[in-house]
Structure 1
Amino acid sequence: MLVAVSQEEYRRRFTSDPHMFISETFIGMVENKCDRVVRLIKEDDSSMGLIAGIKDGVLKSPFSAPFGGFHYSHEHQFYYTISNFLIDLKEYVRKEGLEEVSVTLPPNLYQTNMNAKLVNAFIKIGFTMVTPDICNWADLKNFDGKWAKYVVEQNCRKAVKHGLSWSMVTDRDSMEEGYKVILRNREEQGRKIYMSLDDLLEMNRIVPVDFFCVKDSDGNVLGAGVFYRGHEKIVQGIFMGDDMEKRNLGIMNLMYKHCFYHYKDMGFDYIDLGTSSFEGEPNIGLIRFKELHNCLTSLRYTFSWTP
């Protein structure tokens, strides 16, 4: 059976995190967004654990992040260890009188072996799989400046010809202008943004947050990107957007090119460019755009169960 334990007890068993969104520093920042946080382990087995939030009777991992998932002692867990944990998770939900449990796994980029076994076990044990979201990521180890389609490089040259330039920005004014561009881009596409600029700057207290801008020759911000460096080998593109009236200038082509080189030079192996769908509904143009920029496409799974 699963039991809820203290943070100290949980961390005696799990000293590292597969990704930043289930780290104690991140959980500490967002725990006020749920009624309470629970840390679940099996009494007789330290192989797996789960940090989740309870809100309105629903046990959720994550409760305020792109994805959550499990801690584990190593990624080569026996299948029965995983399936038994999920069976016990259902029993915990039932025993606690909760209305539902929902878990969104990290993309395969973070844990290929565990995901394969978890997805199979979730389905076999009777969890419901919502339509998987489509994710894109870039392999920087093999990035050599050549693109899937030559039009990307043509657009980068067009951007430079029109006086556009890319840079990392650290001053509040430039970051705010970049954030406004991203916000307008989202609003024009009917997509919400759930973090304010202050939220992003607050995040910078626990993980390095990088802001990049593409500006024209007059210094106006036409495109922006925000990235987290919360993993040893994977950098995460959290928000990116451009001035949609001027996107034919190659703004985002220039952004992708320089960000790829920047993080490759820093020694990162991958860029996680997030989802290209919303609640399973694909953004066809965005998928195509990312794939033109050498991105690979995979799935991000969410499973739920109601007693």
Structure 2
Amino acid sequence: MELIQVSHNEMAALFTRPSHIYNSVGFALLNAPKADSVEFLTFRDTRLRGGLILGMCGAMARSPFSAPFGGLLLTREQTAGAVEDMYLLAAQFAAGRGMALRVTLPPPFIGPGLYAKSVNVLQRLSGGCATVEINYHVDLRGVTDPVELYSRSAREKLRQARSHDCRFERLETTPEAIARVYDVIHRNRLHRGFPHNMALEQIVATSAVVPMDLFMLTVDGTPAAAAQVHRLNHEMAQVVYWGDLPEAQYARPMNLLPLEIYKYYLAHTPVRILDIGHSTDGGIINRGLCDYKESVGCRATPKPTFTVNLRREI
């Protein structure tokens, strides 16, 4: 197998349906200013086997370089041996430029076979050097009433939320609507001491590349909670941000908002898996956040980041 660098136009033509939006050429180009350079790699023997988009950032060749996860692009399922060859070539490519390769894999539900093979290969190439986040998702396949996903205590809080005058709506993805959702999320994260990694202008720019759903929950006519959701592919979406306002917490909006989002996707879209994101930081557990997500029906899976440093072997 050999590694061949291509242009972004060639990459886009070769991989027209990436398994998730963060592996699209359009997303890479949007975020290209955040890297020193962006490299588009393909892997071939008798045919095209796969590809990898790398952001060259200091001493690291990163996949992703500005997203929750990256990993290989495939046009079809590949053997474990082919996956090993592709990652080894990518690590050698990075090492030849004096860099290490860093890969954060997508959650396993996006591609279970590729996930298993990638974990095996990268664990060995990295010498076991990995950070593992606990990632959460909601599986709506076969679900008719998402209330059944809730724990007993979450259902009681849901009952409390429904005792208030709450209104849920999906907003059209306009700069004005993005600003409304951003205001709620930004105030929530300031209150909780969490960083808000995307500026308003970045979210507006991202909406031109990433299909985006915006949701707002009001209590007594006043904004109480909001969510920004990205469509990963035809059947999966990711909650990038959600949160409530401190002054609205008496109405338990964060117990009602997830349920309404689940119901929206069940009724109006083919989306059946919602990635809710990780509840760890550098592998350290946020117990309250883990407990909350599990109470509203989320399942835990691992999301590892591997660093492969072959610089001394080249």
- TM superposition score normalised by structure 1: 0.91
Q: Secondary structure at the match of 1:152?
A: helix
Q: Which residue of 2 aligns with 1:268?
A: 271
Contact 1:34–1:55 at 8 Å: present in 2 too?
A: yes
Give yes or no for the alignment of 1:278 onto 2:281.
yes
Separation in 2 of the partners of 1:214 and 1:238? 17
Superimposed CA distance per residue, residues 174-229 of structure 1 (whole angstroms, 9 cap, x where no aligned partner) = 64343222112222332211112232222221233222112121x22121111112
Specify whether residues 175 and 85 from structure 1 end up closer, same or farther in structure 2 by C-alpha distance, changes over 3 A only. closer
| Aligned residue type for 2:119 | V
Q: Which residue of 2 aligns with 1:32?
A: 33
Give yes or no for the alignment of 1:185 onto 2:188.
yes
Q: Secondary structure at the match of 2:22?
A: helix
Q: Which residue of 1 aligns with 2:105?
A: 105
Specify whether residues 159 and 7 from structure 1 end up closer, same or farther in structure 2 by C-alpha distance, changes over 3 A only. same
Q: Which residue of 2 aligns with 1:141?
A: 141
Mapping 1:202-221, distance limit 5 Å: 202-217=205-220, 219-221=221-223
Separation in 2 of the partners of 1:147 and 1:10? 40
Q: How far has the Cα of 1:125 moved from its partner? A: 2.5
- More divergent stretch after superposition (200-209 vs 249-258): 200-209
Contact 1:105–1:302 at 8 Å: present in 2 too?
A: yes
Q: Which residue of 2 aligns with 1:168?
A: 170
Q: Which residue of 1 aligns with 2:7?
A: 6
Separation in 1 of the partners of 2:233 and 2:290? 24
Specify whether residues 292 and 40 from structure 1 end up closer, same or farther in structure 2 by C-alpha distance, changes over 3 A only. same
| Aligned residue type for 2:62 | K
Contact 1:200–1:209 at 8 Å: present in 2 too?
A: no
Contact 2:234–2:270 at 8 Å: present in 1 too?
A: no
Separation in 2 of the partners of 1:175 and 1:13? 33
| Aligned residue type for 2:219 | D
Q: How far has the Cα of 1:173 moved from its partner? A: 5.5
Specify whether residues 15 and 147 from structure 1 end up closer, same or farther in structure 2 by C-alpha distance, changes over 3 A only. closer
Mapping 1:1-307, distance limit 5 Å: 1-44=2-45, 45-75=47-77, 77-96=78-97, 98-143=98-143, 144-145=145-146, 146-170=148-172, 175-217=178-220, 219-265=221-267, 266-306=269-309, 307=311
Contact 1:18–1:71 at 8 Å: present in 2 too?
A: yes
Separation in 2 of the partners of 1:43 and 1:215? 53
Q: How far has the Cα of 1:256 moved from its partner? A: 0.6
Separation in 2 of the partners of 1:194 and 1:278? 14
Aligned residues: 304
Separation in 2 of the partners of 1:31 and 1:82? 26
Identity of aligned residues (%): 27
Q: Secondary structure at the match of 2:210?
A: coil
Q: How far has the Cα of 1:118 moved from its partner? A: 0.8
- TM superposition score normalised by structure 2: 0.90
Superimposed CA distance per residue, residues 77-134 of structure 1 (whole angstroms, 9 cap, x where no aligned partner) = 21111112222222212222x2321111110111111111111111222355332111
Specify whether residues 236 and 126 from structure 1 end up closer, same or farther in structure 2 by C-alpha distance, changes over 3 A only. closer
RMSD: 2.0
Specify whether residues 153 and 230 from structure 1 end up closer, same or farther in structure 2 by C-alpha distance, changes over 3 A only. same
Unaligned runs of 5+ in 2: none
